[in-house]
Amino acid sequence: MLIINILGILLIAGIVWWFWLYKPADVSENSSDLLVTVKNGVYQPARLKIPAGEAASIKFLREEASPCAGTVVFSDLDISEELPLNKQKTINLPALTPGTYSFTCQMQMYRGELIVSDKP
Amino acid sequence: MDHEQRVELIIEGAGCASCVGKIEGALKGVSGVVGAEMNFAERTVSVDGSVPIDDLIKAVESVGYNAKGTEGVSEDDLMDEKEATDLAYYKRLMREVTIALTLGIPLMAYSLIVGEMTVTTTTERIVWLIIGLLTAGVMYFSGKHFYVGAWKSFLNHSANMDTLIALGTGTAWIYSMVVVFFPTVVPDMARHVYFEATAMIIGLIDLGLALELKARGRTSQAIKRLIGLQAKTARVIRDDKEIDIPIEKVLLNDHVRVRPGEKIPVDGIVVEGHTAIDESMLTGEPMPVEKKESDEVVAGTLNKTGSVVFKATRVGKDTALAQIINMVKRAQNSKPPISRLADIISAYFVPVVMIIAVVSALVWLNFGPEPAVAFAIVSATTVLIIACPCALGLATPMSVMVGVGKAAEAGVLIRNGEALQTASKITAMILDKTGTITLGAPKVTNIHLVNAKDEDGVLHLAASLEAGSEHPLAMSIVESAQDRGLSPSGVEKFKAIAGHGVEGVVEGKELLFGNEKLMRDRRINVNGAIDAAQQMAAEAQTPMYFAVGGQLAAIIAVSDPIKEDSIEAIRRLQKNGIRVVMLTGDNRATAKAVANKVGITEFFAEVLPEEKSNKVAELQMQGEIVGMTGDGINDAPALALANVGFAIGTGTDVAIESADITLMRGSLHGLADAIAVSKATLRNIKQNLFGAFIYNVAGVPFAAGVLYPFFGLLLSPVIAGAAMAFSSVTVVTNANRLRLFKAQEH
């Protein structure tokens, strides 16, 4: 029983670490040609990095018919766009100040982050 | 671009047939272009080759014309495409439901009728093994999307509804398979299989998704209706011939003919004919509007009586209708601040539920009665399955979608969720007088001569001075002069003195036209005329002093009629407990007369345009949540400062950019409607959020088994699956109730 309890506690610690504490490496870094695929309940890549102070555009390709995948919302930027199935949709972003901007589906189940940082 | 690809460009500025050769030549000269063929009647050119479209546009521009691509898909096509996507997805879900329930229902019936699904004999092991494999088939055919989604999210360090369902059903299936293969690993009493739970949960949740999809379809009815207003084709006149072309190909300045019963395809100005146009679909204004030469017509409205030709002034994405559709769509997807808490919770919700499931299993294993393993598995599975992040996530967006759409149907354009929420809390409403309470089309009603000899002479000079001014009162003077057949002379040294009046020189005479303050500032003696002016003001007329050569010549009074339904609409606002305040640049007496007529007790008169925002701030200092209503142009700073700025559009002129909420028709009922629909939507959001919170807050502990020690109650995972599936359907259905909201409740 002790082993089961320890395993249970380790499992809880694992959940906390994996979903909250661990930050995956930045996946996509490019200001001109970012493509995010919406498929199987996730944005791929889910973390994008763009330089501050420059307008940028992100292309979204929705490959999933679920209505949840049908809208992408950048709530901080007041942008919300419908994504047609199997067609690229370009979302133009204004020049942004450094920070992290999240983009999600309407229900916040699909989540992605746009990291805007000063140029090195 | 592939070699095979054909691109179509719309050409602007091609007025003669000889342009064809020039444009085709320029395009053929671009390296990579195989062929270019122009359709002069439609002003389009088809280009074959492998060249980026920008290069083609540059080539056309190099020979002096403008070109643009036709790649933009119309809203109509997008909507059709979305419906087709949704329908295909619905059918797929229903197939999955059928497969899952075909196995799940008989198993469920067996468990209810025969009893425990235990594994004791070898025969039972074989039978359950077969059923276990069939369940695996259901998991693959009907539930694959949950497992793939859960896995992909897991790799992404995120968790969603798929994670919960995959974990819940996966746990039940794996445990059952362990019982089948290694019965001795678990205690005797716990040798129970849960294949029926796995199959039923997958079936029910797919069914929930399908029903939710159907209900979601109804939430976008308002936008569908707006998109449906767009005509598909337009009859343009090119080279004296009338041709029907798709509306995407209508160019600026094209002459377009519209016959009775047809929709106006793009925005424009009438150049020939007269008619009555039904604008109700856009503005909510029920009466058809007369249109003659120089009047504006708007895409999406319906031509009723006559045949007219109009010049296209806004096409494609620039038409008022396209902008309205765009704005409504954006607002429908924006979130009011009330959703912030739900958003934060849903970001952490799934991992928290996973932790609760583990804790619940551990508690059962440590302290539960025998068979503790079975109880632990059931409670963990049920916790995972009953928790519904979707209901939380859907609560706000679905209501906003319906509420904003419903408002648009009543001619009220709400900019975003924040405006929607704040509008529901307004405690004080400031109304600009001219153009808001009144028609904003004043007429000269009285000319009181002081030192002048004849009315026509006075009116001629006054109209000459005011001809250059854009003030509504100035226009009334000019129109009155025109009505009397007086044509204006030229004005020199014209100067507008904001909030006071104008000055200038006409026919060598120095003229000054404005309020009493202006006269006193310029030391013009008005003493003998004050009584007459006061009398006019008391009758809700606006007296203006007119001085010629430094001497008061006359008082010209104009009166701006109160809109027919202003009184009723203001009463509606007051009945809802809103403090209504009137604001005007007019003198105190006129303001008082108008305020009295419409039943407003509180007003600010003689307010300069730049002071309007101070009045907004003043009310805010008193703790009021202030709505400001104005025409959206002169009142921009006050509209911006108010908690909610309402711009009154005059039907076609949509001041979309300057206000939080735009009323498409002149009536103040739009204001009361906007507040009513905001309140109804917020109420609906609160119901949804409350329902979703209570469901999860009560459902999760119940599933974990907190009631077991007291009442011996433990929830079945199948019931949890059904509850979860229908909780999000309930949210969407409740949002759809908003569609029954009646805007005009007098």
- State the Cα–Cα distance between residues B87 and B510, nearest whole angstrom: 74
User: Rounded distance, CA B668 to CA B661, Å?
Assistant: 13
Q: Picking from A40-54, B297-311, B628-642, which range would have the lowest pLDDT averaged per residue? A: B628-642
Rounded to 5 degrees, φ, ψ at B649 are -85, 150
Query: What mean pLDDT, rounded, does chain B reach?
Result: 85
The string of pLDDT tens digits covering residues B320-369 is: 888 888 888 888 877 888 888 887 887 788 999 999 999 999 999 998 88
Name the stretches of chain A with pLDDT < 50: none
Contact B355 A12 (CB under 8 A): yes
Q: Report CA B545 to chain centroid distance, whole Å.
A: 46
pLDDT (tens digit, 9 = 90+) per residue, B670-709? 899 999 999 999 999 999 999 988 898 899 999 998 888 8
Which chain A residue shows the shortest CA-CA distance from B331? A80
Asked if residue B544 lies in contact with residue B558, where contact means CB atoms within 8 angstroms, the answer is yes
Q: Give me the pLDDT at residue B725, please.
A: 84
Interface touch A80/B334, C-beta < 8 Å: yes
**Residue B626: strand pairing partners:** B428
Instruction: Name the residue facing B85 among A12, A39, A65 (closest C-beta).
Output: A65
Query: Are the CB atoms for B224 and B231 separated by under 8 Å?
Result: no
Instruction: Taking residues B405-434, report their average pLDDT.
Output: 90
Shortest Cα–Cα distance, A53 to chain B (Å)? 24
Three-state SS letters, B263-307: ECCCEEEEEECCEEEECHHHHCCCCCEEECCCCEECCCCEECCCC
CA distance B675 to chain A (A): 22
- Partner-chain residue, chosen from A19, A82, A111, that has the shortest CB–CB distance to B351: A19
Residues of chain B with C-beta less than 8 angstroms from the C-beta of A70: 82, 85
Q: Which token pair is B481?
A: 């002069």
**What is the nearest CA distance from B165 to chain A, expressed in angstroms?**
13
Tell me the chain B residues in contact with residue A84 when contact means C-beta distances shorter than 8 Å.
73, 78, 81-82, 85
pLDDT-derived band at B93 (thresholds 50, 70, 90) equals very high
Residue B4 pLDDT: 47
Summarize the confidence of residues B650-673 as an average pLDDT. Answer: 74
Question: d(Cα A37, Cα A42) in Å, to the nearest integer?
Answer: 8
| d(CA B568, nearest CA chain A) in Å | 36
Shortest distance between the Cα of B333 and any Cα of chain A, in A, equals 6
Q: Pick A41's closest partner by Cβ from B73, B149, B366.
A: B149
What residues of B are in contact with residue A108 (Cβ under 8 Å)? 343, 346-347, 393
**Shortest CB distance from B78 goes to which of A16, A67, A84?**
A84
- CB of B236 within 8 A of CB of B250? yes
Per the CB < 8 A criterion, the answer to whether B429 and B638 are in contact is no
Examine the pLDDT at B66 and tell me if it is beyond 70.
yes
Question: Which of the residues A106, A110, A113 would you substitute to probe the B interface, choosing the one with the greatest number of B C-beta atoms within 10 Å?
Answer: A106
B8-22 pLDDT per residue, tens: 787 776 767 677 788
Mean pLDDT, range B192-220, rounded to an integer? 88
Quick one: CA torsion of B340, B342, B348, B353, rounded to 10 degrees? 170
Q: B112-136 pLDDT, tens per residue?
A: 888 777 788 888 889 999 999 999 9
Neighbours of B294 (CB within 10 A): 8
pLDDT at B72 > cutoff 60: no
Nearest to A12 among B154, B155, B358 (CB): B358
DSSP chain A: -HHHHHHHHHHHHHHHIIIII--PPP-EE-SS-EEEEEETTEEES-EEEEETTS-EEEEEEE---SGGGGEEEEGGGTEEEE--BTSEEEEEE----SEEEEEE-TTS-SEEEEEEE---
| Set of chain A residues whose Cβ sits within 8 Å of the Cβ of B213 | 67
Contacts of B216 in chain A (CB under 8 A): 67
Q: How far apart are CA B16 and CA B148, in angstroms?
A: 60
**Which residues of chain A make contact with B362, given a CB cutoff of 8 A?**
4-5, 8
Neighboring chain A residues of B145 at a CB cutoff of 8 Å: 40, 66
Nearest to B216 by CA among B739, B741, B740: B739
Q: Is the pLDDT of residue B1 over 50?
A: no
What pLDDT score was predicted for residue B728?
Answer: 84
List the single residue in B78, B152, B354 with the smallest CB-CB distance to A41.
B152
Instruction: Provide the β-strand partners of residue B447.
Output: B556
Are B89 and A66 a contacting pair at CB < 8 A? Answer: yes
Q: What is the pLDDT of residue B90?
A: 93
User: Which tokens sit at B227?
Assistant: 């998109």
CA distances for B19 relative to B7, B11, B28, B227, B455, angstroms: 19, 10, 14, 35, 58
Interchain proximity B89–A75, CB inside 8 Å: no
Residue A78, min C-alpha distance to chain B (Å):
7
What pTM value is reported for the model? Answer: 0.79
Suggest the residue from B89, B157, B375, B728 to mutate for an interface test with chain A (most A CBs closer than 10 A).
B157
Contact A15 B397 (CB under 8 A): no
Chain A residue nearest residue B161, CA to CA? A109
Q: For residue B292, what are the contacts with CB-CB under 8 A and spacing of at least 6?
A: B270, B274
Asked whether the CA dihedral A48, A51, A53, A57 is positive or negative, the reply is negative
Task: Confirm or reject contact between A65 and chain B (CB < 8 A).
Answer: yes
> Computed from CA positions of residues B660, B664, B669, B670, in that sequence, does the dihedral angle turn out positive or negative?
negative
Using an 8 Å CB-CB cutoff, list chain A residues near B366: 1, 5
Q: What is the arithmetic mean of pLDDT over B305-327? A: 87
Nearest chain A Cα to B344, which residue?
A108
Distance between CA B514 and CA B54 in Å, rounded? 55
Residue B465 has pLDDT above 90, yes or no: no
Tell me which chain B residue has its CA closest to the CA of residue A81. Answer: B330
A92 touches chain B (CB under 8 A): no
Contact B743, B673 (CB under 8 A): yes
How far does B303 lie from chain A, in Å, by closest CA?
32
8 Å CB contact of A65 and B92: yes
Which positions in chain B touch A111 (Cβ < 8 Å)?
158, 347
* Catalytically annotated residues of B: 432
Taking the C-alpha atoms of residue B338 and residue B353, their distance in angstroms, rounded to an integer, is 23
B572: nearest Cα among B675, B721, B449, B651: B675
Does residue A89 belong to the interface with chain B, where contact is any CB pair within 8 Å?
Answer: no
CA distance A40 to chain B (A): 4
Residues 5-64 of A with CB under 8 A from B: 5, 8, 11-12, 15-16, 18-20, 22-24, 39-44, 46
Cα of first residue to Cα of last residue in chain A, in angstroms, is: 54
Structure tokens at B623: 């703790």
Average the pLDDT over B390-409 and give the result: 88
Is-contact B745 B576, C-beta < 8 A?
A: no
Nearest CA in chain B to A15: B351
| CA gap B732, B403 in Å, rounded | 12
Q: Taking CB atoms and an 8 Å cutoff, what residues of chain A touch B330? A: 78, 80
pLDDT at B199 over 90: yes
pLDDT, mean of residues B472-479: 80
| Per-residue pLDDT reduced to its tens digit, B325-339 | 888 888 887 788 888
- Do the strands B551-559 and B289-291 form a parallel or antiparallel pair, or are they unpaired? unpaired
The DSSP H or E segment spanning B95 is helix B75-113
Please give the Cα distance from B31 to B49 (Å, whole number). 9
Token couple for B398: 């679905």
Check CB contact under 8 Å for A41 and B354. Answer: no
Residue B517, sorted as left (phi over 0), alpha (psi -120 to 50) or beta, turns out to be alpha
Measured between CA atoms, the residue of chain A closest to residue B415 is A78
Separation CA B666–CA B687 (nearest Å): 33
| Tens digit of each residue's pLDDT (9 = 90 or more) over B575-612 | 999 999 999 887 788 888 889 989 999 999 888 877 88
- The pLDDT of residue B92: 93
Does residue B395 contact residue B685 with C-beta atoms inside 8 Å?
Answer: yes
Residue of B nearest to A4 (CA): B362
C-alpha triplet B622, B625, B627: angle, nearest 5°: 120
